[in-house]
Structure 1
Amino acid sequence: MPNHHARTIDPHTLPETITRYLTAHQAHDTATALTAFTSDATVTDDGTTYEGTTAIEQWLNRSATEYTYTTELTAAQQTDPTHYTATHHLEGNFPGGTVDLHYRFTLRNDLIEHLVIEP
């Protein structure tokens, strides 16, 4: 559900936790990516929800090997101090070849509590 109170921000001003996760994820650095999440975090990707660091670690490792693609951070929004959206443009060898994905983050204590990835 789009939130109309979201305001566009410079992608470079996203919180450090989100930037750390996105950078590590692109580098396939699962260990660093995991440090950005709370211990009870959830990630929803492609309609499937992964709960807790073990499940998220498995998801990170799998998504790193499934396809080859480039990612460009094209936009960012902030709804409130704990809700951010980062928009990525992906090009690669996955079905469709290109897609814009919205990474919707909920933060708690400066860590990612929920991440929802959707077109």
Structure 2
Amino acid sequence: MTSLNLPEPIATFFAAEHDPDALATCFTAQAVLKDDGHSYAGIDAIQAFMAEASARYNATSVPFASHREDDLQLVRANVTGNFPGSPIVLSYRFRLEGDLIASLEITA
């Protein structure tokens, strides 16, 4: 597998996908995460969502492509887990503020 050169908060996000406490350190206090038609605003809501999703789906994400588009970092990842349609390729659209994630939208 080719190693991607991801910005530090994005690399940390993928490395800590089963550790909600570590994931929370990747985001700004006012960050917004959008996934599966729902929005989660603020670190507490994002952390709760990620903990529930990790426990429910036990998904593993392996990024394989990344590029910048305007002020967004787009990452594509193979995702496998305990959910219908697994495995699937998901797109992650990150907007960074400094060394933290300000917004993230996850789509199929």
Q: 1:41, 1:78 → 2: CA distance? A: 19
20, 25, 32: which one pairs with 1:30?
20
Confirm or deny that 1:86 pairs with 2:78: no
- Report the TM-score, using the length of structure 2 for normalisation: 0.90
Q: 1:68, 1:88 → 2: CA distance? A: 15
Query: 1:27-47: CA deviations, max 9, x gaps?
Result: x11111111100000000001
State the shift of 1:11 in Å: 5.7
Q: Which residue of 1 aligns with 2:12?
A: 20
Q: Secondary structure at the match of 1:12?
A: coil
Percent identity between matched residues is: 35
Contact 1:11-1:76 at 8 Å conserved across structures: no
Contact 2:4-2:64 at 8 Å conserved across structures: no
CA-atom RMSD in angstroms: 1.5
State the shift of 1:85 in Å: 1.0
Contact 1:11-1:86 at 8 Å conserved across structures: no
User: Which protein is bigger by CA-based radius of gyration?
Assistant: 1
Structure 2 runs not aligned, ≥5 long: none
Q: Which residue of 2 aligns with 1:65?
A: 55
1:76-115 matched pairs, under 5 angstroms: 76-80=66-70, 82-115=71-104
State the shift of 1:109 in Å: 1.8
Structure 1 runs not aligned, ≥5 long: 1-9
State the shift of 1:97 in Å: 2.1
Q: Secondary structure at the match of 2:16?
A: helix
- Report the TM-score, using the length of structure 1 for normalisation: 0.82
